Structure 1
Amino acid sequence: MTGCARLPEHLPKNPADQADLRIPRSADMATTPWPAAQWWRSAQDPELDRLVDAALQQNPNLRAAAGKVLLAQADVGTARSRLLPHFDASLALTQQYFSAQGLHLSANGTSNTFGEINPLVVRYHVDLWGQDRDLVRAARGQLAMTEAEAAQARLLVSTAVVVQYFALAGDLRLLREAEHLHALQERAEGVAEGGFRQGLSSASPVHAEKLAVAQSAEQVAKFRAAVAAERHALAELCGAGPAMQIAGKALATQALVPPAGLPKELPLRLLAGRPDVVAARWAVQAAAAEVGAARAAFYPNINLRLLAGWDSIHLGDLFAPGNFAHAIGPVITLPIFEGGALRAHLKAQNAAFLIAQDRYRSTLLTALREIADRLSTAQKLQRQDQAQQTAAAAAREQSQLQQQAWRQGLRDELPSIEAEITRIRVSQRQTAIVTARWQNWALLESALGGGYLEKTKDD
């Protein structure tokens, strides 16, 4: 009892108690209320809503996470049972033959049936040192951590569906543009061959156009394979096979990325809305409770026991008044020498607490980095999109001028085709940027917690 270790004095603070650190963000970013549940519905795409709902209901990883929550709930019930008295009843019948030369005197050489009925057996552990209460707090902390981990799994699955869906939408548009580009390359090849046959040009442009046709055909094949793979990935996330019907639509490059759902200020306390941060914080609290329970094991263990019933060596007089038996009293055990087991267990729980504390801090730093990265990426993509819109407008104007010159007979058809090819390639770059903006929006919403609100826990 003299070697009891003490609990760590410095517990990690709740994120709301941390310094009011700021996360850098652009002043011109739109601000809307946050957090928002079902954040993906801001995209206003019914097919995306259907896929996310299907994934949240049928994804096998989420079903496994829900099973872990049920196990944690059972553990809480088991821990709480230690705080309550246990009532039992027992019935025993024993047939025994006593040897003729035994020590049972009058019973020697006879066969008897022992009867014992105890309709009331009460056992109660006196939790003087708080060990049972600490174990309940630890179990509740583990349950809260498991629920937050399940919410994190749901957030990751929904984010993966949204990111994959926008990849599919972007590649569908890129495929359409690649097919248009391939048709233009074949048309340019025909014009070049016509000029060569008429002796207006050499064979070099013909070979160049043939190479361009082959490259564009390869690009079409690449995007078709990407579209198929993305549909398969979405089906897997939804817990279905590759044959699942997914009606994706091509991305509209002129559509604006929805607002990220950010408040005007981003203090560090907003990280309390991230389920992984909540899970890490509950892991620390559960580990601290485990340390308290390990420390309480050094003190005397007191159990109260009450028994009342009848027992007799002869069944015929089992319920005679003289055969009524009862007992009540404490059972006290004092750990004196355990071979170092108690100290080793307390040392292990202290180490687990320190590990949980460091993981909590690491989770906070990771969350800060992810949000800062997504905000800076959003600013970069916004600038790239603006520049690409300018390039796309110039390419469209140039294509229109070349088309007009060809129709008026001022030039042959090949420059107008090449101008349209340039416009398609600029549009492809714009499509890639807009796709990245949609995906970054989903990742930013996920980094901010995806609208997760922690359930209130009773002590």
Structure 2
Amino acid sequence: MKPFRLAAAATLALTLAACADMGGIAPQARKIDATSVNAGSAINGSVTGAAWPREQWWEALQDPQLNRLVAGALADNPSLHAAQARVRQARALAGMTEAATLPRVDAAASAQRELFSANAMVPPPLAGNYAWNNTAMLSGSYDLDLWGRDHAALAAALGEVQLASAETQMARLALASAIVRSYIQLALDYTLEDSAAAMLAQRERLLELTRRRHAAGLASAIDVTSIETTLPAVRREQEQIGTAIALLRNQLAALIGKGPGDGESIARPGLTLAPDQGAARATGLPAALPAELLGRRPDIAAQRWRVEAAARRIDVAKAAFYPNINLTAFAGVQALGFGHLLEAGSAMRGIGPAISLPVFEGGRLRSQLAGQSAVYDGAVEQYNATVLHALEEVANAITRDRAEQEQARLTRQALATARQAHQLAEQAWRAGLTDQANEIAARLALLQEQRQVAQVASRQLDNYAELMAALGGGVKLDLP
């Protein structure tokens, strides 16, 4: 008879639970297949089976000071520490969620001295007198989780841990990339500062020469004035470059988690901006692109885990439509007064299921499921956008690299021509065949071309850093 009653109770529970209908509510978004995306000629034309970046990819620039700055930043940057704290928080929350999947045991004891009513259920001699009411109990409960709600919640929480870990890798990569690119700009600014000083010196030479010619009646006052007007602009540029160097030092100090005073100790970078040295550029791409890019980019991995966590939250919302069954048990003793507390007659115990089921929720469960489905759709679309953005960044880096290679070739040609022209002008001047002004003009042209070469080489280094970041910075991440 008892099994029949249990079966009837279970059938009734399922029937009543069916009153909460989840029909018609489902996610609408679909994850993009990265291998089906048209990557374009920039990527497809550069896939040569090159290696993926090393985790310490900045070491290819061969500057010990840069290596120390990045290492210090990864150890001391407050924003990175905050990201790591979020990982620990996610793990703690996952631990709390896991506790719901395990049995729970509680112990409780109480001793109360109270005055019992003379007109209630307590018999004499306690009625109308003070006495101790003592209880000691051990209770336990276990959620059967028949519909997988608790385990789905745990899977979602673990996904949040992976999400936070991927976001930490995002912060590490962004931090390293920001330091490297700022450092490259600092190296260029020092080169531009040297160039501005050299150009100022040549213009001052030209001004002195023109003044002497004017004194000799060989040049006009207009000639002198026209040269004098160029000097303030060069000095202003020197001041601007000096300010930019100071600001970059402050920025680097902040990135490594230090104060501006520590930035003042940053020495001139040892990067070589010559196009044939220290460029460490990579024009080829790994053959597994774009498929393996999904596990190399921390932002993509983070979005994948966000989608996975959202999918598990949908399972939790669906499980809420079904009955929840807990097994509960308790055992203990209860007695009035301490004398009988440990006697066999004071024992009490019990065991049985506790069932809760939704019957009429006023649409709350449907709204909850619809909301979680919308969260999933949003996560999927954000994942799709991240994949497309990642491919765009890789394609942009390769496109810029190709353009800079051509510009580097043209600037080297222009530099060689300017160097030859200066040599000829200097030889002619020293031989007395031309005026010294021609030699100074040729040197100014040479300095200008050297500046162009340095700027192109700096952009090549910056493109290298951009490409390393676009390829994920050398860290391979787990995907759901």
Deviations 1:343-376 (A, max 9, x none): 2211111110110011010111111111111110
1:35 CA drift (Å): 3.5
Asked whether 1:300 is paired with 2:323, we answer yes
Q: Where does residue 349 of structure 2 map in the other structure?
A: 326
Do 1:21 and 1:267's aligned partners in 2 also have CA atoms closer than 8 Å? no
Task: Say whether 1:88 aligns with 2:106.
Answer: yes
- Structure 2 distance, partners of 1:455, 1:121, is 41
Counterpart contact for 1:251–1:431, Cα < 8 Å: no
What does residue 183 of structure 2 align with? 165
Task: Give the SS at the match of 1:243.
Answer: helix
Task: Note closer, same or farther for the CA distance 1:300–1:30 as it changes in structure 2 (3 Å cut).
Answer: closer
Q: Deviations over 1:126-151 (max 9, x none)?
A: 10000011101100111111100110
- In structure 2, the residue matched to 1:234 is 252
Instruction: Assess if the C-alpha contact under 8 Å between 2:304 and 2:479 holds in 1.
Output: no
State the alpha-carbon separation in 2 of the partners of residues 167 and 282 from structure 1: 35
Structure 2 residue 465 is matched with structure 1 residue 447: no
1:267 offset after TM fit, Å? Answer: 2.8
SS in 2 for 1:315: coil
Match of 2:287 among 234, 244, 265: 265
* SS class of match (1:309): strand
Equivalents in 2 of 1:160, 1:329: separation in Å? 61
Q: Show the counterpart of 2:66.
A: 48
Q: How many residues align?
A: 455
- Name the structure 1 match of 2:157: 139
Cα-to-partner distance string for 1:237-263 (whole Å, 9 max, x where unaligned): 001111112123265332252132744
For 1:197-208, list aligned pairs within 5 A.
Answer: 197-208=215-226
Question: Which has the larger displacement, 21-30 or 209-218?
Answer: 21-30
Cα 1:29–1:392, aligned 2, differ >3 Å: closer, same or farther? Answer: farther
1:101 positional shift: 3.3
Identical columns (%): 33
Match of 1:97 in 2: 115
- The Cα shift of 1:387 comes to 0.4
Give the whole-Å Cα distance in 2 for the aligned partners of 1:261 and 1:46: 24
Deviates more, 1:203-212 or 1:371-380: 203-212
Structure 1 range deviating more: 232-241 or 99-108: 99-108
Structure 1 CA distance, aligned partners of 2:385 and 2:37? Answer: 18
Letter of the aligned partner of 1:330 in structure 2? P
Maintained 8 Å contact 2:327/2:352: yes
Of the candidates 36, 42, 52, which is equivalent to residue 19 of structure 1? 36
Q: CA deviation at 1:10?
A: 7.0
Whether the aligned pair in 1 keeps the contact of 2:411 and 2:452 (CA below 8 Å) is yes
Deviation at 1:89, TM superposition (A): 1.3
- The reply on whether 1:109 has 2:131 as its aligned counterpart is no
Pick aligned residue for 2:366 from 317, 324, 343: 343
Matched, 1:416 2:435: no
The whole-number CA distance in structure 2 between the counterparts of 1:24 and 1:8 is: 38
- Partners of 2:120 and 2:97 lie apart in 1 by 48
Instruction: Tell me which moved more, 430-439 or 276-285.
Output: 430-439
CA shift digits 1:297-324 (9 cap, x unpaired) = 1111111111111111221110101111
- Please give the secondary structure, in 2, of the residue aligned with 1:416: helix
Instruction: Decide which of 384, 393, 407 is 1:384's aligned counterpart.
Output: 407
| Matching of residues 141-290 of structure 1 within 5 Å | 141-244=159-262, 245-249=265-269, 251-254=271-274, 255-260=277-282, 262-263=284-285, 265=287, 267-272=289-294, 273-290=296-313
Deviations 1:389-414 (A, max 9, x none): 11011111111111111111111211
Structure 1 residue 452: Cα displacement: 1.6
Secondary structure at 2:328 match in 1: strand
Cα distance in 2 for residues equivalent to 1:125 and 1:216: 78
C-alpha displacement at 1:338, in angstroms? 2.3
Distance 1:132 1:6, change over 3 A: farther
The one-letter amino acid of 1:210's match is E
Assess if the C-alpha contact under 8 Å between 1:88 and 1:122 holds in 2. yes
**In 2, distance between residues paired with 1:192 and 1:141?**
75
Quote the Cα distance in structure 2 between the aligned partners of 1:28 and 1:76: 43
Q: Which residue of 1 aligns with 2:386?
A: 363
- Counterpart pick for 2:148 among 123, 127, 130: 130
Kindly provide the amino acid, as one letter, of the partner of residue 464 in structure 2: W
- Counterpart position of 2:449: 426
Residues 83 and 250 (structure 1 numbering): CA distance in 2 closer, same or farther, change over 3 Å?
closer
What corresponds to 1:311 in structure 2? Answer: 334
Query: Any conservation in 2 of the 1:115–1:312 contact (CA below 8 Å)?
Result: yes
* Letter matched to residue 357 of structure 2: L
1:451 alignment partner, SS class = coil
The answer to whether the 8 Å contact 2:47/2:287 transfers is: no
1:204 Cα deviation from its structure 2 partner: 1.8
Larger deviation, residues 324-333 vs 157-166? 324-333
1:436 to 2:453 alignment? no
**Alpha-carbon distance in 1 for matches of 2:212, 2:89:** 75
More deviation in 299-308 or 247-256?
A: 247-256
Q: Is the 8 A contact 1:22 1:265 kept in 2?
A: no
- CA-to-partner distance for each residue in 1:248-299, whole Å, 9 max, x for gaps? 3265332252132744535321321100000001100100000010110111
The change in CA–CA distance for 1:292 and 1:29 in structure 2 (over 3 A counts) is closer
Give the secondary-structure state (helix, strand or coil) at the position aligned to 1:234.
helix
Is the alpha carbon distance of 1:29 and 1:393 closer, same or farther for their aligned partners in structure 2, counting shifts above 3 Å? farther
Of residues 234-243 and 24-33 in structure 1, the stretch that sits farther from structure 2 once superposed is: 24-33
TM-score (norm 1): 0.94
Give me the whole-angstrom Cα distance separating, in 1, the residues matched to 2:65 and 2:215. 51
After TM superposition, give the deviation of residue 104 of structure 1 in Å. 3.0
- Runs of 5+ consecutive residues of structure 2 not aligned to the other structure: 1-16
Letter in 2 for 1:89: A
